[in-house]
Amino acid sequence: MTASSSRGGPEAASPRAAAVSIAVRARPRRWFSSQTSRRLAFGYLLLAPAVLYVLLLVGAPFLFSLFLALSDASVADTTASFVGLENFRAAFESDVFYIALRNSIGFTVVAAIFKGLLGTSLAFLLLQPFWGRKFIRGLVVIPFTLPISISVLGWKWMYDSQFSVINWFLSRIGVIGTYGSAGWPVWLGEPHLALLACIMVNVWRNFPFSAIVLLAGFTSVPTEILDAARVDGTSFFQRFRHVVVPMIAPILLIGFLFDTVFTLSDLGVVYLLTQGGPANATKILPVLAYQVGIQAGALGRGAAIALFLFPLLLPLMILMLRNLKRREY
């Protein structure tokens, strides 16, 4: 021990000590040296595949469609020039666009209401104990799993102006007139009926999905809580409104979000049933975007029409996700 060290002062700088001290000072301080940083880095590492997945499969196509919407891109040209908001202006100039926008919103809202009602009813029915319940639960998802072209072709036959099985049945039981009379509905020929017919097919195809989502939610509600509510003298609707719905709200919101996105972007049903006719009465944005962008080849204008779905969906998404987050805490 040196004299200075015994006094508590700085150690005398022997050549060896100096060398050690310099070496310690020169070592870079690593950013992940702390436990917190390391945990953070590991967290990001685990998150990276998901972020990459979203960026590649959602972000990149979205940015690409944004680029297309702002350019004069054509299906037959690999190059495109920037045209600003010209394609959006072109969409606003066409009254078919406004019809498609109105129909898209109406289609989604009406279909969502019916899918909610039918899905809830079906979920409650499937919740009840009965013989063959598992088999029936498997059967109800068939409309959802059938290839859209096959199921819509079947509906097209059922809506046929001449051979509609729906009409022949209704006519036979006296609800509507006979074929050729004014009381014979032309499902895909009358503007409002045609839109309703398209909505019906969308509801038929997708309400089993709503039912399955709801069923998953219902089965997650502990029976003790429901029993307690029952003991308190609540009615079925009170239990549903004040116990079940708040408890399964996150599942409901996610299901609703999925369904809204699927319905708003549903090209198949309308395209296969009516192609948007008669006189654009059933035209929705995805069909118009497809006809202009792909069939006519004006990719830029088609992309602009399709992108109008984004501002429609964005506020809804934000509201729902915010609501969901609030419920988590």
Partner 1 sequence: MNDPQPVRTGPSTVNRRKFLTAAGAGVAGGSLLTMLEARQAPAQIKGTTLRILQWSHFIPAYDAWYDKFAKEWGEKNGVKVRVDHIPHLDIPARMAAEFAAGAGHDIIYNGSSILTRLYYKNLVDLTDISDAAAKKYGGWIPAARSLVEVEGRWYGLPIFYILAPMLYRKDLFDANNLKYPDTWELARVAARTLKPKGHPTGIALSQCADANLFWRSMFWSFGGTEATPSGDQPTIDSKELREFLKFAKALFEEGMTPEVFSWDDASDNRYLASGIACWVHDAISAYRTTEDTNPPVFANTFLGLEPQGLPGKRVSCAAPNVWMVWKFSKNQQAAKEWLAYLIDNDLEGMTQSRGYNMPYLNDRYKKPMPVIGTDPKLQILQDFPKIVAFYGQPGPSTTPIQEIVNTFVFPDMITKFCRGMAMEDAVKWGAGEYRRIYAKYKQA
Residues lying near partner 1 in the complex (CB under 8 A) are found at 72, 74-78, 90, 93-96, 156, 159-163, 180, 186-190, 194, 274-280, 288, 290-292, 294-299, 301
Q: Measured between alpha carbons, how far is 160 from 188 in angstroms, rounded to an integer?
A: 8
Q: How far is the CB of 55 from partner 1 (least distance, A)?
A: 21
Nearer to partner 1, 190 or 261 (CB): 190
- Give the three-class secondary structure for 207: helix
Q: Measured from the CB atom, is 234 or 275 closer to partner 1?
A: 275
CB closer to partner 1 out of 244 and 299: 299
Residue with tokens 């045209």: 83
Min separation Cβ 276 and partner 1, Å = 5
Q: Which CB, 250 or 277, lies closer to partner 1?
A: 277
Return the structure tokens found at 213.
């989502």
Which residues are CB-neighbours of 215 under 8 A, at least 6 positions away?
Answer: 123, 126, 127, 137
* Beta carbon of residue 268, minimum distance to partner 1 (angstroms, whole number): 12
Residues 6 or more apart in contact with residue 211 via CB below 8 angstroms? 118, 119, 120, 122, 123, 126, 140
Q: In this structure, what is the dihedral angle of CA atoms 194, 274, 259, 88, given to the nearest 10 degrees?
A: -110
Nearer Cβ to partner 1 (120/167): 167
In this complex, which beta carbon is closest to partner 1, that of residue 218 or of residue 290?
290
Strand partners, 82: 71
The minimum distance between CB 275 and partner 1, in angstroms, equals 4
Q: How far is the CB of 296 from partner 1 (least distance, A)?
A: 4
Q: How far is the CB of 166 from partner 1 (least distance, A)?
A: 13
Which lies closer to partner 1 via its Cβ, residue 101 or residue 214? 101
Sign (positive or negative) of CA dihedral 78, 81, 85, 91: negative
DSSP 265-324: T--HHHHHHTTT-STTTT--HHHHHHIIIIIS--HHHHHHHHHTHHHHHHHHHHHHHHHH
* Close Cβ partners of 38 (under 8 Å, ≥ 6 residues apart): 32
CB of 286 to partner 1, least distance (A): 13
The distance of closest approach from Cβ of residue 278 to partner 1 in the complex, given in angstroms and rounded to an integer, is 4
Q: How far is CA 310 from CA 95, 193, 261, 294, 317, in A?
A: 20, 28, 10, 19, 10
| For partner 1, the closer CB: 110 or 186 | 186
